[in-house]
A = this chain, B = another copy of it.
Amino acid sequence: MAQARRGRPSTGVREAVLRTTGEVLGEAGIALSTKEIARRAGVAESSIFYHFGDRLGLLEAVIGEHLPVFSDATVVLGSRDADGDLRADLVAVVSGLEGFYLRIMPVLGALQSDRQLRELLARRGGDVGPHLALGVVADLLRTERAAGRVGAALDPKAGALLLIGAGHQRAMHRYLLGAAAEDFLPPVETVVEALLPAFV
């Protein structure tokens, strides 16, 4: 970001393309075309190739833009204020995770349905990607454990997998079924109630 601007300043085409691609990703998935993105973004199709090289380069840029958020605690967990009640705090954590996974679902779906994107992820060597959310939540549990608010016997990574699994599961079914999902899903409060004995 400390890079000095040289040459002609951008007129926002790159940004418009990235934004539009993110939108189309949520609708058509990775079966998106550079032509349609250019049309919807109101730019020339050739500008996409100027900025991103080829179609995969565009996909890499869009996906890659979202990959770092998985290690950002504020984004993954949402805003929470610990008020001392473990139950309420866990409800806030799972709800935050659910909202996060609901928002990131198009990116997650693209990664799951395109081998080239998975290879891009593997090439990054693990320094970015969905798996880092586990570390974020595990760190939170370690802190809470040190403060004595969570049982000393709890394995932080295992606890993180359970909380994330619950939030992700609710988010995925809501994404797939829409409002009808609530008829099948147990409420966050019920899930936390069931999980509570494992955390005290």
Contact = CB atoms under 8 A, between A and B. Distances in A.
A54 B170 CA distance: 33
Contacts of A129: 176-177
Q: How many copies does the complex hold?
A: 2
Contact of A190 (B110, B155, B177): B155
A113 B30 CA distance: 7
Given A129-B176, A176-B129, A155 B28 contact: no
A175 interface: yes
A180 B122 CA distance: 9
Interface residues of A, number: 60
Contacts of A126: 177, 180, 183-184
A118 interface: yes
Most-contacted residue by chain B among A113, A135, A175 (CB, 10 A) = A113
A169 B28 CA distance: 24
A148 interface: no
A165 interface: yes
8 contacts: A29-B115, A106-B112, A112-B112, A131-B177, A161-B185, A162-B162, A165-B169, A197-B198
Interface of A: 26-31, 105-106, 108-115, 118, 121-122, 126, 129-131, 134-135, 154-155, 157-162, 164-170, 172-173, 175-178, 180-181, 183-186, 190-191, 193-198
